[in-house]
Chain A
Amino acid sequence: GAGVSQTPSNKVTEKGKYVELRCDPISGHTALYWYRQSLGQGPEFLIYFQGTGAADDSGLPNDRFFAVRPEGSVSTLKIQRTERGDSAVYLCASSAGGGYTFGSGTRLTVV
């Protein structure tokens, strides 16, 4: 596609539920990144894929968070047993090795 697409744009879920956030990167971009922006903070790194594999997952806050990119294109960020502290904007970016192109994010609200 022309840009990075993230769905849904907004998600409200109840505490304890499971959610999946999707990122569709620019076609041909091998690198894909997930960031999380909490209120009043800058975006914080979560995980980075190079192709299908997670090259760096050191930013995932705990084992409730998991991400996959099975075919090297679309990625899904999965959050189990959501907590109110998970409420944030989740941003995805892709890169071909130079600049980064961001999606418009998924705003997750856990109530």
Chain B
Amino acid sequence: ILNVEQSPQSLHVQEGDSTNFTCSFPSSNFYALHWYRWETAKSPEALFVMTLNGDEKKKGRISATLNTKEGYSYLYIKGSQPEDSATYLCAYPKETSGSRLTFGEGTQLTVNP
């Protein structure tokens, strides 16, 4: 993996379903992995910054895990709600934390009521 890859590109689920997406990134020279939620016409909202292999972070119904050795992170949403509909982006700094971010293409989630 040379850059950041996210899958799937888009996802449609029913309200109440649980779902997850994947972010793959280069495993060498790892500093941090960022997850953002971006709703149309709003600012990308920071969800998690993950730094340690094996990290698991949780924010309400959303959680994320990190595997730096194999270069992937999973984002889970439990009991999806229509307000979870957004594009979920992952990104990593190519150099030290605080340098520019390289983003994946995002996973566009639509939760149908």
Which of A13-21, A61-69, A71-79, A95-103 forms part of the interface with chain B?
Answer: A95-103
Write the nearest CB–CB distance from A7 to chain B, whole angstroms.
14
Contact residues, A38-89 vs B (CB, 8 A): 40-45, 48, 56, 59
A99 and B46 within 8 A (CB):
yes
User: How many residues of chain A have a CB within 8 Å of chain B?
Assistant: 26
Write the nearest CB–CB distance from A45 to chain B, whole angstroms.
5
Please name the residue on chain A nearest to B108 by beta carbon. Answer: A40
| Alpha-carbon distance A76/B62, docked complex (angstroms) | 36
User: How many residues of chain B have a CB within 8 Å of chain A?
Assistant: 22
The answer to the question of A108 belonging to the interface, with a C-beta cut-off of 8 Å to chain B, is no
**Interface residues of B, dominant DSSP:** loop
Which of B11-19, B53-61, B64-72, B94-102 forms part of the interface with chain A?
Answer: B94-102
For A42, give its contact among B42, B98, B103 (CB under 8 Å). B103
B46 and A100 within 8 A (CB):
yes
| Alpha-carbon distance A29/B97, docked complex (angstroms) | 15
**Chain A residues near B102 (CB-CB < 8 A):** 45
Which residues from chain A sit less than 8 Å from chain B, CB to CB? Answer: 3-4, 9, 31, 33, 35, 40-45, 48, 56, 59, 91, 95, 97-105
